[in-house]
């Protein structure tokens, strides 16, 4: 008996609800879609900024990149290899990750 009463009261309450018109519903839906797209673009730009900032912190600018072929065929002693700091000797160079491409999924560029 209580279930029938609950259903009847629910129907009566739903009759009193002021529903939005179709035009209002479409307008609010478009507003939500536009706002969502703007927020997605904003967050994408912020993410790009953080990514660029972290790359500058993690990958120091003093690293010099050459291709593996240049490293093997190089006859000059002044050319730095991937993971070496320009101007440093083999014994005095700081410990730097030799394969930076593992961090970002692509090789270093000159």
For the segment 61-67, the average pLDDT, to the nearest whole number, is 53
Task: With beta carbons less than 8 A apart as the criterion, state whether 68 and 24 touch.
Answer: no
Residue 12 domain-assigned (yes or no)? no
- Token pair, residue 16, equals 């009193």
Residue 102 domain-assigned (yes or no)? yes
Q: How far, rounded to the nearest angstrom, does the alpha carbon of residue 106 sit from its chain's CA centroid?
A: 15
- Token pair, residue 99, equals 């394969």
pLDDT above 90 (res 38) = yes
Whether residues 89 and 53 share a domain: the answer is no
Residue 15 domain-assigned (yes or no)? no
Q: What is the pLDDT of residue 58?
A: 81
Domain total of the chain: 2
Residue 67 domain-assigned (yes or no)? yes
Residue 14 domain-assigned (yes or no)? no
Whether residues 81 and 50 share a domain: the answer is no
pLDDT above 80 (res 30) = yes
Domain region containing 39: 22-58
């Amino acid at each position: 008996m209580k279930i029938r009463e609950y259903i009847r009261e629910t129907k009566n309450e739903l009759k009193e609800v002021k529903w939005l018109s179709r035009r209002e519903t479409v307008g609010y839906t478009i507003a939500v879609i536009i706002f969502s797209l703007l927020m997605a673009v904003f967050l994408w730009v912020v993410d790009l900024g953080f990514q660029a900032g972290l790359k500058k912190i993690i990958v120091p600018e003093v690293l010099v990149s050459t291709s593996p072929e240049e490293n093997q065929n190089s006859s000059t002693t002044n050319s730095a290899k991937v993971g070496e700091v320009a101007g440093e000797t083999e014994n005095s160079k700081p410990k730097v990750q030799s394969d930076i491409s593992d961090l970002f999924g692509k090789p270093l560029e000159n």
